[in-house]
Structure 1
Amino acid sequence: MNQRQPTQEDHVSTDPPAPKKPRAAPADVQVHTAAPDRHLVTVTGHLDLHTAHHLADALQPLLDRGPHTVLVDLSGVTFLDSTGLTCLITAYRTARSTGARLSLIAPSQPVRKMLELTGVDQILDSYPSPEAAPD
């Protein structure tokens, strides 16, 4: 009598399902007008594939207005991936084309590390506080 060999499909796991990773809280983006020609954009949380568009949506209209200063406070960003980095680079390019000044404020350690690894810290100006950034 021919016996069928067990296959991968026949194996039923008795292991409990792996717990789902908790999804990171979405980035929170707040825009504050410090003066008519100076805006502070504060970002907290993860700046990644799922959240970078929130920052892009906040920055675009500010940068399109022309010559003024836009400060991006990244002190509360706990994670930055390539999408978040691309968002910052795109904002920098827009600022250059419109005459706006874009500066980063107090990038957190994870953000600083990513900026240094990619060389973006050599392109984007960074200051320890909004008061330290020039107009």
Structure 2
Amino acid sequence: MITIGGYLDCYAAGELKEALPAGIEGGTGDVVISLQGVDFLDETCLGVLAGVHKQLRDGPTTRSLRLVPDTAGHLTRLLQLMGLTAAFDLYSNLDEALTASCPGVPVGGMGKETSGSAQQSRGDDR
């Protein structure tokens, strides 16, 4: 599981682009990214998430990107306005995303946390 938080604008996109692939490399299962702590997400960082989604989908084994938007619904609304709700697997809460069933497929990319300006902070294994 990867947790992202803070203000994610074009200035944070480069760090996010480096941090996310590092958090999913070597995994074999689906990847859950919690955006519950995100205060702002611009189109540049949304593009980074789309790139990760494509990387997982087109990799040697098909993996899924499970997103948990903010609880207030602002990010979900942004994805709706941009027509991207069908492009991502969206979940209303973290437990739902972590337990979503894909028979025999574990959740990968565990133990990474990204916050603020897309810098890795501490890792929490789940």
TM-score of Structure 1 vs Structure 2, range by shorter chain? 0.5 to 0.7
Contact 1:103 1:127 in 2 (8 A): yes
| Equivalences for residues 26-37 of structure 1 within 5 A | none
* Higher RCO (CA < 8 A, seq sep 6+): 2
Query: Runs of 5+ in structure 2 lacking a partner?
Result: 101-105, 107-126
**1:65 equivalent among 14, 26, 29:** 26
Please give the alpha-carbon distance, in whole angstroms, between the structure 2 residues aligned to 1:93 and 1:64.
14
Please give the alpha-carbon distance, in whole angstroms, between the structure 1 residues aligned to 2:70 and 2:48.
15
TM-score scaled by structure 1? 0.63
Deviations 1:57-116 (A, max 9, x none): 222134443531211101111111110110111111001012222110133533222211
- Aligned residue number for residue 69 of structure 2: 106
Contact 2:68 2:90 in 1 (8 A): yes
SS in 2 for 1:76: strand
- Aligned residue number for residue 48 of structure 2: 87
SS in 2 for 1:51: helix
Paired positions, count = 96
TM-score scaled by structure 2? 0.66
- Name the amino acid aligned to 2:76: R
Please give the alpha-carbon distance, in whole angstroms, between the structure 2 residues aligned to 1:44 and 1:102.
17
Please give the alpha-carbon distance, in whole angstroms, between the structure 1 residues aligned to 2:63 and 2:17.
15
- The alignment status of 1:48 with 2:40, answered yes or no, reads no
Please give the alpha-carbon distance, in whole angstroms, between the structure 1 residues aligned to 2:27 and 2:57.
9
Please give the alpha-carbon distance, in whole angstroms, between the structure 1 residues aligned to 2:49 and 2:14.
11
Please give the alpha-carbon distance, in whole angstroms, between the structure 2 residues aligned to 1:51 and 1:122.
25
Q: Which has the larger radius of gyration?
A: 1
SS in 1 for 2:53: helix
- What fraction of aligned residue pairs are identical, expressed as a percent? 29
Contact 1:52 1:87 in 2 (8 A): yes
* Structure 1 vs Structure 2 CA RMSD: 1.8
